[in-house]
């Protein structure tokens, strides 16, 4: 299927690995021009280098950074059609999961909201005027199924993502009549660096359960989370949904939330 993205200009945050990298790769393959934002580049992102890709090294904890990234799209490619707010998860220097409501203090809560909600709000604020200049655009906010089914862990993260879902709905109502579609993709547990890096979720759960880290990734975590598919989600499976949502093929889809969660959510 031709997603009709050739020549479109996109900004993708959290673009150096995991879901963000898969989104960048997919949009480039569909002919889009992409500004990829992340604190550091990676060999995988560097392998995509070309005239249609610009990497902007930024720390999105800096309140000015999202606006600089969006401005770079206008400078390099003349405007903006697509914004994918993918950056999220543990703020720099933090490892998740974190158990119990009393564990995160005020600083932890502030950092979590800065990274997972406020950075997206700031990017959207900068993007909307550029999209309106082009007669519309598409925004996808990457949230989490934990925004809808919270648990007694990562409570600050879950709350930030619930806020993102609310922002998405409000934006879709306000700007839909002006041609800007805003949707949410809510992944379940995805096999990304959050899980696989040393000291990440696999190691934390291995220590908590007494299982090996490979067993956590392959069976313990899927069983613990009652994943219908029996495995963690692949980043490309999320990227494919994002690409469809930012495509003109989804012209009548706005204010919606799509779970890519291996069957984690059980309600209808």
The 3-state DSSP class for residue 113 equals helix
Name the packing angle between helices 119-133 and 65-77 (round to 10°). Answer: 30
Tokens of 198: 């040393």
List the one residue out of 53, 51, 56, 29 whose CA is nearest residue 41.
56
CA quadruple 159, 107, 86, 95: dihedral, nearest 10: -100
Q: Backbone phi, then psi, for 234, in 5-degree steps?
A: -85, 140
Report the SS3 class of residue 68: helix
Contact 117, 60 (CB under 8 A): no
Catalytic residue among 8, 17, 157, 175: 157
Instruction: Pick the closest to residue 200 from 112, 98, 109, 103 (CA basis).
Output: 98
Using alpha carbons, list the distances in angstroms from residue 196 to 168, 213, 231: 29, 9, 14
The verdict on whether 157 is a catalytic residue reads yes
Q: Residues 8, 17, 40, 161: which is the catalytic one?
A: 161
Distances in whole angstroms, Cα of residue 182 to Cα of each of 19, 48, 138, 195, 238: 18, 27, 6, 28, 16
Is residue 169 part of the annotated active site? The answer reads no
- Cα–Cα distance between 52 and 137 in angstroms, integer? 19
- Which residues carry out catalysis? 157, 161
């Amino acid at each position: 299927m031709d997603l009709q993205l050739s020549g479109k200009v996109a900004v993708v945050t959290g673009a150096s690995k995991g879901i963000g990298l898969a989104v960048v790769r997919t949009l480039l393959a569909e002919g889009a021009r992409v500004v990829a934002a992340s604190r550091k580049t990676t060999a995988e992102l560097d392998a995509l280098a070309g005239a249609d890709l610009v990497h902007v090294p930024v720390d999105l904890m800096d309140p000015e950074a999202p606006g600089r990234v969006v401005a770079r799209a206008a400078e390099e490619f003349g405007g903006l059609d697509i914004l994918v707010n993918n950056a999220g998860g543990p703020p720099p220097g933090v490892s998740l999961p974190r158990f119990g409501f009393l564990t995160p203090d005020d600083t932890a809560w502030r950092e979590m909201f800065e990274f997972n909600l406020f950075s997206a709000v700031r990017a959207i604020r900068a993007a909307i005027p550029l999209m309106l200049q082009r007669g519309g655009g598409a925004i996808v906010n990457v949230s989490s199924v934990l925004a809808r089914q919270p648990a007694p862990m990562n409570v600050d993260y879950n709350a930030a993502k619930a806020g993102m879902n609310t922002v998405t709905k409000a934006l879709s109502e306000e700007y839909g009549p002006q041609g800007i579609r805003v949707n949410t993709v809510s992944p379940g547990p995805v096999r990304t660096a959050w899980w696989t890096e040393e000291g990440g979720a696999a190691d934390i759960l291995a220590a908590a359960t007494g299982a090996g880290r490979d067993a956590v990734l392959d069976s313990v975590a899927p069983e613990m989370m009652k994943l219908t598919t029996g495995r963690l989600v692949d980043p490309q499976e999320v990227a494919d949904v994002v690409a469809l949502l930012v495509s003109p093929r989804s012209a009548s889809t706005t204010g919606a939330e799509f779970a890519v969660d291996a069957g984690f959510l059980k309600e209808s």
